Structure 1
């Protein structure tokens, strides 16, 4: 028998519903990153700033014993390799059987991601050419990256007001963007190659590929070989996080019993990446000491170049690519979306927290002042992009989410 008793609404549930909404679904990881970034800046500017700096940059042992001799290096070179491993798994799954598996699905997000990386880099270069161009030029890739968790988190705060096609579009652009960022790190932020270690890394990758072709379903051989691969890549001169991507690409999509290995591994590691690894990285890298810092440093060429690249470059590049693609008939904008909504999502792509901070560390090794200025630019550009993008979408999106197929036009 059906119980038809009417349960009165709980006023406390209604009161705290908006708060709870911040920490469920797509919004939670992004909100967590916002809180972590704020906590890092508070710690760096509190009476505990010396302890904060010593915690991450104090030597654990001699560099002669092992090159990763600070907690900061372990986070950026080891822990972040797991983050890149998860990125690699996601890219492989999406490329083979997901939202990037056909040419029609790839056209628009790939075009938008390329434009969304090229235009910010050009804006950055134009800003730094007038002063200290040679010293600052290595940071051109900092504003070229989009943070998936942060951007999707802000989008998640809008609930079902944003059409599903636009949510999917933002996700796929960010995934392609990650592919580009990985390639940029591998090609442009690699120095002093050691061919012996590189050859050993290639041998390990070949063994993993052979296991893949044999559909070896056990995870342990891949995990152990991935650790060996990471060690060889770490010592080869290529940044160690690239090992995470390479190892992920060697994981079979399915095992001999049709077990979805990539998807299962990704789903197991993704929460650890989103709620532990990225927050730890953010707390270790987002802290900027503002003591003695004047407005001149905040408005220096480097922070302004990065902020302008993220806020202006991303929206101009991505929106222009979508508009141009539709005008020439190459592709159409996500189905059910209007141009103000497309513009709002293009602005959200200017949130570049994790990858931008990471590239900033690689771009200016040994210069704490430039790294701090790069952090200021990244945080400033990401904050403006988040607030403006959210505001535009909040004002222009009124229709509920739908299940219609994306990329099919109106």
Structure 2
């Protein structure tokens, strides 16, 4: 009975988001209950993987952020490829509304952050931190509402978040690359070429692709480009259909999903959400970095997603999906401000010093929590779901007509 209950928990779509929240809370509790030194010591344990003196030596935090998160981005890449070939991103007309909403949801938060940090080039580097949406967290909050929200809202938010992830991947590749080593990038073309060849011939076995992917990850890591990009490149080289008509992509996506959302993402959250709340004052939250991040996530996402969607509909470029009202769209726009995982990740790429890193965590936590609470309350108490309303019988229609 206990096993069945656990199985039901892990099958529930809200579970990943709930576990993510619990991991973040656990990090805050540990960091503020006398175990901060042990927490930091664990994250800085050196771990080296070498062969004949050659390999990678990093601390635990970097293995989590560069290694485990490459698997996360691999899953994101698999989802993107599947959606582009046979899902929500296949038909261009279906992408217009969430696509422009995603553009607004990335541009406006970045503008708000940049405006508040314009005078300091060091902090301005974090302009992309509030531009991201956390798929697991946002969908987890939405799923807590059950059938109170129309399915079209989930599809809209999911498509928006997928496109948002694509934008975040491009931002990381273009703007958060360290000093480049061109020779390593040239070497990386060899395993990439092998992966493309396996994809084109519809290779049935996954093991050769995974081995080439590990080599690609190592070379990309050594090149200065962030290693998580290797996860996306590997994903795009996994065949949707092999020569036997089966789908390696579907199999990998299905197999990896529970490990990513119930292990990798919670571990990342725990490793990156620890911040001291001692001496936390309103004045500190009002400093440019945390204010820019929190304001970008809550106000920026809300204005960007809602505003760009409103303009797109009013200009006649697209229509609101059935079951979505302007109020429910506003609620979803608020949920898009939950930037947790991706925002913390980009924050880690933006700042290396402890002070700015703590400010990033404060901004991301406060902005994401406000967005989650406001979005939940709007969708719970103000928005209505047409499909959740009781059906009107023919007799009732006649009766209403007679009263009129």
Answering whether residue 98 of structure 2 is matched by residue 95 of structure 1, we say: no
User: Secondary structure of 1:69's match?
Assistant: strand
Q: What is the Cα deviation at residue 110 of structure 1? A: 1.1
User: How far 1:150 sits from its partner (Å)?
Assistant: 0.2
Q: CA deviation at 1:108?
A: 1.1
Which residue number corresponds to residue 345 of structure 2?
358
Structure 1 residues 22 and 159: CA distance shift in structure 2, 3 A: farther
2:361 alignment counterpart: 375
2:163 match: 176
CA contact (8 A) 2:106 2:132 kept: yes
Measured against aligned partners, the alpha-carbon deviations of 1:225-276 in whole angstroms (never above 9, x if no partner) come to 0001000001000000100000000001100111011111101001110010
Residue 77 of structure 1 corresponds to 66
**Distance in 2, Cα, partners of 1:79 & 1:179:** 19
In the alignment, structure 2 segments of 5+ residues that lack a partner are 389-404
Q: Which residue does the alignment assign to 1:344?
A: 331
- 2:306 is equivalent to residue 319 of structure 1: yes
Q: Select which of 148, 154, 158 maps to 2:141.
A: 154
Distance 2:198 2:47 in 1: 37
Which residue is equivalent to 2:402? none
- Aligned match of 1:392 in 348, 370, 378? 378
- Structure 2 contact 331–379 (Cα < 8 Å) conserved: yes
Question: 1:57 corresponds to which residue?
Answer: 44
Write the mapping of 1:217-232 to structure 2, written as runs, cut at 5 A: 217-232=204-219
Distance 1:27 1:138 in 2: 34
- Distance in structure 1 (CA, Å) of the matches to 2:144 and 2:112: 30
Q: CA deviation at 1:388?
A: 0.3
Aligned position for 1:42: 29
The residue correspondences of 1:1-400 to structure 2 (distance < 5 A) are 25-60=12-47, 66-129=55-118, 131=119, 133-365=120-352, 367-399=353-385
Is contact 1:21-1:157 (8 Å) kept? no
8 Å contact 2:129–2:347 — kept in the other structure? yes
Q: TM-score, normalized by length of structure 1?
A: 0.89
- Matched with 2:396 is none
CA–CA separation in structure 1 for the residues paired with 2:155 and 2:313: 18
Secondary structure in structure 2 of the residue aligned to 1:110: helix
Deviation of 1:349 after TM superposition, in Å, equals 0.1
Determine if contact 1:160/1:400 at 8 Å carries over to the other structure.
no
Aligned to 1:8: none
Kindly report the root-mean-square deviation, in angstroms, between the aligned alpha carbons of the 2 structures.
2.1
SS in 2 for 1:235: helix
Q: Deviations over 1:308-357 (max 9, x none)?
A: 00000001011111111111110111211111000000110000000000
1:399, distance to aligned residue in structure 2 (A): 2.6
Cα shift readout 1:100-139 (whole Å, capped 9, x = no counterpart): 101111111111111110010001111112x5x2111110
The C-alpha deviation readout for 1:283-329, integer Å capped at 9, x for no partner, is 00000023344443232110000000000000101111111111111
TM-score (norm 2): 0.91
Question: How far did residue 66 of structure 1 move?
Answer: 5.0
Paired residues, what number? 382
Map of 1:3 onto structure 2: none
Contact preservation (8 Å) 2:49, 2:57: no
Most deviating of 239-248 and 22-31: 22-31
Residues in 1 aligned to 2:373 and 2:57: alpha-carbon distance in whole angstroms: 37
Distance 1:222 1:242 in 2: 16
For 1:76-115, what per-residue CA distance to the aligned partner results, in whole angstroms no more than 9, with x for missing partners? 0111100000000000000110011011111111111111
In structure 2, C-alpha distance between the alignment counterparts of 1:358 and 1:385, rounded to whole Å = 18
Residue 392 of structure 2 is matched in structure 1 by none
